[in-house]
Amino acid sequence: MDAKRNPGLMFSLLFFSLSVNNYLSLGADTISANQPLSGDQTIVSAGGSFVLGFFTPGNSSGSKYYIGIWYSEVKVSTQTIVWVANRDKPVSDKSSSVLRISDGNLVLFNESQIPVWSTNLSSTTSSAVAAVLRDEGNLVLRDGPSNLLEPLWQSFDHPTHTWLPGGKIGLNKITNENQRLISWKNSEDPAPGLFSLELDANISSYIIRWNRSIQYWTSGPWDGKIFSLVPEMRTNYIYNFSYINDKNQSYFTYSVYNPSILSRFVMDVSGQIKQSTWSNYTNEWFLFWTQPKTQCEVYAFCGAFGSCDQISQPFCKCLKGFDYKSPKDWYLSDYSGGCVRKTPLQCENTSPANGQKDKFLTMPNMNLPVQAQFFGVGTAAECESSCFNNCSCTAYSYDANNCSIWIGELFNLNQLTEDQIGARTLYLRLAASEFSNHKNNKGVVGAVVGSVAGVALLLGLIVFVILRRRKRAVGTAKSVEGSLMAFEYRDLQNATKNFSDKLGGGGFGSVFKGTLPDSTAIAVKKLESISQGEKQFRTEVSTIGTIQHVNLVRLRGFCSDGSRKLLVYDYMPNGSLESQLFHEKNPTQVLDWKTRYQIALGTARGLVYLHEKCRECIIHCDIKPENILLDAEFCPKVADFGLAKLVGREFSRVLTTMRGTRGYLAPEWISGVAITAKADVYSYGMMLFEFVSGRRNSEPSADGKTRFFPTRATSIMKEGGDVLGLLDPRLEEKADVEELTRICRIACWCIQDDEANRPPMSQVVQILEGVLEVNPAPIPRSLQVFDDNRENIIFFTESSSNQSSQARSNTSAASSQSKSDGQQQVWRPEEQLSENV
Ligand SMILES: *[C@@H]1O[C@H](CO)[C@@H](O)[C@H](O)[C@H]1NC(C)=O
Ligand SMILES: *[C@@H]1O[C@H](CO)[C@@H](O)[C@H](O)[C@H]1NC(C)=O
Ligand SMILES: *[C@@H]1O[C@H](CO)[C@@H](O)[C@H](O)[C@H]1NC(C)=O
Ligand SMILES: *[C@@H]1O[C@H](CO)[C@@H](O)[C@H](O)[C@H]1NC(C)=O
Ligand SMILES: *[C@@H]1O[C@H](CO)[C@@H](O)[C@H](O)[C@H]1NC(C)=O
Ligand SMILES: *[C@@H]1O[C@H](CO)[C@@H](O)[C@H](O)[C@H]1NC(C)=O
Ligand SMILES: *[C@@H]1O[C@H](CO)[C@@H](O)[C@H](O)[C@H]1NC(C)=O
Ligand SMILES: *[C@@H]1O[C@H](CO)[C@@H](O)[C@H](O)[C@H]1NC(C)=O
Ligand SMILES: *[C@@H]1O[C@H](CO)[C@@H](O)[C@H](O)[C@H]1NC(C)=O
Ligand SMILES: *[C@@H]1O[C@H](CO)[C@@H](O)[C@H](O)[C@H]1NC(C)=O
């Protein structure tokens, strides 16, 4: 593309484009000595993937221009910046600023022709130096036209906030330069922000730091295949990570097995490292991995005197008596500036005018801020006065005779709920006048002596109204579209003893046990971050209410009280499959094979109902053992269906936060094609392996071998190996070998890469019922990546009886023989079916 051009023509073209300021592109991938870049000109990489030019970030209108690299519009329709040159030195006029080769460096000159950014190499005089934008998004400075030359400089060695495939994050041991990802300051300012991802080469692990100092997340050390604290990498079939550690440098790099998948890691302004892939289908980035998982785990995210609340939007609030330091930054989701006191403390005032003293505000359910000073044991009053007597003391906490005080600004405060670990009471020092301002504060009502009568009257009225409303609600809980009950918040608060008995948590919210006045047990789900309006919420809820099946958890009712949204379900006494399968308390209570088989079958039936029998096909999107609940008879009930729609566009965020492991996620989620019911089939298949092994697929087995269980199972199934050897050792081989073989085979088919090769759930049911036979499946390509001794795929040709005859034990051989001899149909994937037709 960067062919020989007539430089004279080039110059006149350039002059033309500068003078009329149009959108003429240089049409090349190179900036060379006589081809500078200015104004609206861009260069495009040879394969058309990336573009380099001036840009203005986000919605910031006006005069801040940066040189950046972004995906070409053909590939990614929303402008996505992957690299910025002059991060903290914008130019204000792009047509008189120029990016050109100067003294063997690539240099950006601002409107006064002063260099504001440079590749900073010790100058060479070679006139052959040119900068080329490569198709992987790497801007390379080289001395001469050959692609084979070692680059003098490359943007991949100087990443900004995005890590592209082929890029490096690590340490240059010669220059001692840390190649770290640094977040933008906010969504409109690419200047280096507070959060950075970098390599700790000493222990070959990644860490995320706040202000380049405090570490708040680590990947754990690299063991050659995965980072120890990122076990989900074990199920990673998209990326090939490698660690290079030599005399000159230590770094990680990665590639994507399927080059048509566009993927990136971003150190986000939220302080989280985020991994996403572009979806051609929805024209959006699909976010599928985030660390730390929740926003409030990010150190000091809300700045000084700010408090982070995971279940409200926005996440950050100022403490009572404080106000945003910079409302503009706050609006741009940059909370790091924190909050400032509205009223100065009395103790700072050398001549207190009104003689009032500072007071302490009681703040329940807070995690405690960092950097406390301990005052040892004493009484609560002593603790309070030790803080009170030192004007620099801003807060104290007193717990089990233990007095902690804080000097100066308070950082890293989180608002918790009562049931969370670490919830304590913090006493915050405020000027006394802050208290009388809050008439609603119960603690101060007494101060307003004059209006006591009025208040009492008002209270009486409120109580009266509440009582009436409650009476109505409890007595006749309004029925909405059929059988759903509309509950008042107070009723659910009472039923759950103020949400004291937590059954579990998840991406959609925590679940609490409760009892209705008629003593039916219920499970109440407090939904988090619902962005929907009232009407839409009710519509969706009543749709979910109409979905009823013996293998689906029944929605009894809901509560919608402003931002409080709750769903009320039947209570399931045996908890989730997750707890039964992975955490059984008593080894004699391990789920026996028959029960496991029935649970597999029931779950499949529930999914058939969702996929095929409802008016609209409902894709569950999150099939995993946590979402299969068990009633008193161990009849399985699928939970959490239909919620994806309730949560709406936030779903992809929810999806990533709720997944401890992404081992159940079908490849199409990440490759960005349309999601169909076959995505559930994939997750169901992954779960079937866990029925068999009794442990999580992503966990190392008891013998310490880290081989991914589905990989082991698929290859044993294909070879016709010892199927009983796959069984949960706690079952001591007590299983029907025919059923076991069947489940393993179905599981192998369900997790095929190509969704056309996965059976629909209705056929899974038929196979489990023994109505349909099933042959051994090929090993999915994505699993082969892990398989050290790879074998060629033998695609679906062998007959079932040859393959598994060794595996069949004497007990079931007879019955299976008779079945295969009969007229039984054999299930075949869609592709095979259509080939046969
Ligand atoms: C830009 O503005 C639009 C509409 O006002 C808004 O939806 C969007 O989130 C903004 N984008 C950024 C990056 O602030
Ligand atoms: C160009 O950059 C220099 C150095 O950063 C700065 O002093 C000067 O004001 C800039 N010129 C304009 C017109 O902004
Ligand atoms: C280049 O060097 C100058 C002066 O040493 C420094 O201020 C500037 O940040 C460097 N630029 C880059 C891109 O490293
Ligand atoms: C690695 O170890 C060296 C020497 O012990 C130390 O100076 C350096 O700070 C360590 N690096 C990190 C990232 O902790
Ligand atoms: C970050 O650290 C620098 C010094 O290392 C300090 O000057 C600055 O105030 C810190 N930023 C914040 C927000 O605390
Ligand atoms: C992964 O990347 C390394 C280094 O680039 C390469 O040697 C290796 O063959 C790749 N592995 C696979 C399975 O592609
Ligand atoms: C390290 O760098 C030196 C000079 O820059 C080079 O000669 C040598 O081959 C490099 N070593 C490795 C292992 O890459
Ligand atoms: C998405 O579309 C682009 C442009 O048409 C194409 O190059 C890419 O291969 C597609 N990606 C996938 C995963 O289909
Ligand atoms: C308040 O406490 C801090 C930290 O313990 C101490 O440095 C300071 O001297 C104290 N101030 C007074 C007035 O006692
Ligand atoms: C007081 O509490 C802190 C933090 O909870 C703890 O580290 C410390 O050991 C406690 N001190 C005593 C004397 O209990």
> CA-to-CA distance for 535 and 514, rounded, in angstroms?
27
Q: Is residue 114 within 6 Å of ligand 2 at its C-beta?
A: yes
Contacts of 353 (CB under 8 A, 6+ apart): none
> CA-to-CA distance for 436 and 564, rounded, in angstroms?
29
Q: How much is the pLDDT for 350?
A: 61
What confidence tier does 134 reach under pLDDT thresholds 50, 70, 90? very high
Q: Is residue 167 within 6 Å of ligand 8 at its C-beta?
A: no
- Closest listed ligand to the CA of 672: 8
Q: Is residue 374 within 6 Å of ligand 10 at its C-beta?
A: yes
Contact in structure between 195 and 279 (CB atoms under 8 Å) = no
Strands (E), 315-451: 316-318, 322-324, 339-341, 359-366, 373-377, 393-399, 402-407, 413-415, 424-430
Query: Would you list the domain boundaries of the chain?
Result: 1-158, 163-293, 306-434, 478-570, 577-835
Q: What is the mean pLDDT of residues 636-653?
A: 66
Contact in structure between 829 and 759 (CB atoms under 8 Å) = yes
- Say whether 736 sits in a helix, a strand or coil: coil
Q: How much is the pLDDT for 812?
A: 33
Residue nearest to ligand 7 atom 10, measured at CA: 248
Least confident of 180-194, 681-695, 805-819: 805-819
Q: What is the mean pLDDT of residues 46-53?
A: 94
Q: What residues flank ligand 4, with Cβ below 6 Å? A: 200, 202
Q: How much is the pLDDT for 831?
A: 53
Q: What is the pLDDT of residues 250-284, one digit of tens each?
A: 999 999 887 888 999 999 999 999 988 887 777 88
Q: How much is the pLDDT for 523?
A: 94
The preferred substitution site among 71, 73, 75, 256 for testing ligand 8, maximizing ligand atoms within 8 Å of CB, is: 75
Q: How much is the pLDDT for 645?
A: 62
Instruction: Mark whether 561 is an active-site residue.
Output: no
> CA-to-CA distance for 794 and 132, rounded, in angstroms?
45
Percent of the chain with pLDDT over 70: 77
Pick the CATH number of 163-293 from 1.10.3470, 3.30.2000, 1.10.357, 2.90.10: 2.90.10
More confident residue, 178 or 234: 178
Contacts of 643 (CB under 8 A, 6+ apart): 508, 527, 544
Tell whether the model's pLDDT for residue 340 goes beyond 80.
Answer: yes
Q: Which atom of ligand 1 is nearest to the CA of 332?
A: 14
CA of 427 to the centre of ligand 9 (A): 18
- Closest listed ligand to the CA of 261: 8
Q: What is the CATH number of domain 577-835?
A: 1.10.510.10
Farthest CA pair distance, the chain: 101
Q: Which of 448, 418, 73, 454 is nearest to 262 (CA)?
A: 73
CA of 785 to the centre of ligand 6 (A): 10
Calculate the alpha carbon distances from 636 to 545, 628, 643, 680, 730 in Å.
18, 6, 19, 16, 21
What confidence tier does 132 reach under pLDDT thresholds 50, 70, 90? very high
CA of 160 to the centre of ligand 3 (A): 15
CA of 116 to the centre of ligand 3 (A): 9
Q: Which of 508, 593, 613 is nearest to 550 (CA)?
A: 613
Tell whether the model's pLDDT for residue 761 goes beyond 90.
Answer: yes
Residue nearest to ligand 7 atom 1, measured at CA: 248
CA of 60 to the centre of ligand 1 (A): 9
Contact in structure between 555 and 544 (CB atoms under 8 Å) = yes
Q: What is the CATH number of domain 478-570?
A: 3.30.200.20
Q: Is residue 116 within 6 Å of ligand 2 at its C-beta?
A: yes
Tell whether the model's pLDDT for residue 462 goes beyond 70.
Answer: no
Helix, strand, coil proportions of the chain in percent (round to 5)?
Answer: 30, 25, 45
Q: What is the pLDDT of residues 568-598, one digit of tens each?
A: 999 999 999 988 888 766 666 889 999 999 9
Q: How much is the pLDDT for 451?
A: 47
Q: Is residue 242 within 6 Å of ligand 6 at its C-beta?
A: yes
CA of 194 to the centre of ligand 5 (A): 9
The preferred substitution site among 374, 397, 399, 401 for testing ligand 10, maximizing ligand atoms within 8 Å of CB, is: 374
Highest mean pLDDT (candidates 71-75, 661-665, 713-717): 71-75
Residue nearest to ligand 6 atom 1, measured at CA: 240
Nearest 5°: the CA angle 399, 404, 407 is 150
Tell whether the model's pLDDT for residue 653 goes beyond 60.
Answer: no
Least confident of 26-35, 203-212, 701-710: 701-710
**CA atoms within a 13 Å half-sphere pointing along the CA-CB vector of 453:** 1
Q: How much is the pLDDT for 787?
A: 40
What does DSSP assign to residue 227?
A: B
Q: What is the mean pLDDT of residues 500-511?
A: 80
- Say whether 577 sits in a helix, a strand or coil: helix
> CA-to-CA distance for 439 and 458, rounded, in angstroms?
13
Q: Is 163-293 the same fold as 1-158?
A: yes
Q: Tokens standing for 726?
A: 């796959």
> CA-to-CA distance for 342 and 318, rounded, in angstroms?
11
Q: Report the chain's mean pLDDT, rounded to a whole number.
A: 79
CA of 198 to the centre of ligand 4 (A): 12
Contact in structure between 569 and 576 (CB atoms under 8 Å) = no
Residue nearest to ligand 6 atom 11, measured at CA: 240
Cut 0.85: pTM above it: no
Q: Which CATH architecture has domain 1-158?
A: Orthogonal Prism (2.90)
CA of 380 to the centre of ligand 10 (A): 15
Q: Is residue 531 within 6 Å of ligand 2 at its C-beta?
A: no
Q: What is the pLDDT of residues 404-454, one digit of tens each?
A: 889 989 999 998 877 677 888 999 999 888 877 544 444 333 333 344 444
Tell whether the model's pLDDT for residue 804 goes beyond 50.
Answer: no
- Closest listed ligand to the CA of 201: 4
Q: Which atom of ligand 9 is nearest to the CA of 373?
A: 5
What confidence tier does 162 reach under pLDDT thresholds 50, 70, 90? very high
Tell whether the model's pLDDT for residue 793 goes beyond 90.
Answer: no
Residue nearest to ligand 4 atom 8, measured at CA: 202
More confident residue, 740 or 652: 740
Residue nearest to ligand 10 atom 14, measured at CA: 402
Q: Is residue 412 within 6 Å of ligand 5 at its C-beta?
A: no
Q: Is residue 59 within 6 Å of ligand 1 at its C-beta?
A: yes
Q: Is residue 248 within 6 Å of ligand 7 at its C-beta?
A: yes
More confident residue, 459 or 548: 548
> CA-to-CA distance for 670 and 95, rounded, in angstroms?
40
CA of 59 to the centre of ligand 1 (A): 6
What confidence tier does 181 reach under pLDDT thresholds 50, 70, 90? very high
Residue nearest to ligand 5 atom 12, measured at CA: 211
What confidence tier does 824 reach under pLDDT thresholds 50, 70, 90? low
The active-site residue, picked from 2, 29, 329, 622, is 622
CA of 356 to the centre of ligand 9 (A): 22
CATH superfamily of 306-434: Hepatocyte Growth Factor (3.50.4.10)
More confident residue, 354 or 314: 314
Dihedral Cα 434, 436, 437, 439, nearest 10 deg = 140
Residue nearest to ligand 6 atom 3, measured at CA: 242
C-alpha of 394 from chain center: 35
Residue nearest to ligand 1 atom 8, measured at CA: 59
Q: Which atom of ligand 4 is nearest to the CA of 199?
A: 13
Tell whether the model's pLDDT for residue 659 goes beyond 70.
Answer: no
Q: Is residue 88 within 6 Å of ligand 2 at its C-beta?
A: no
- Say whether 671 sits in a helix, a strand or coil: helix
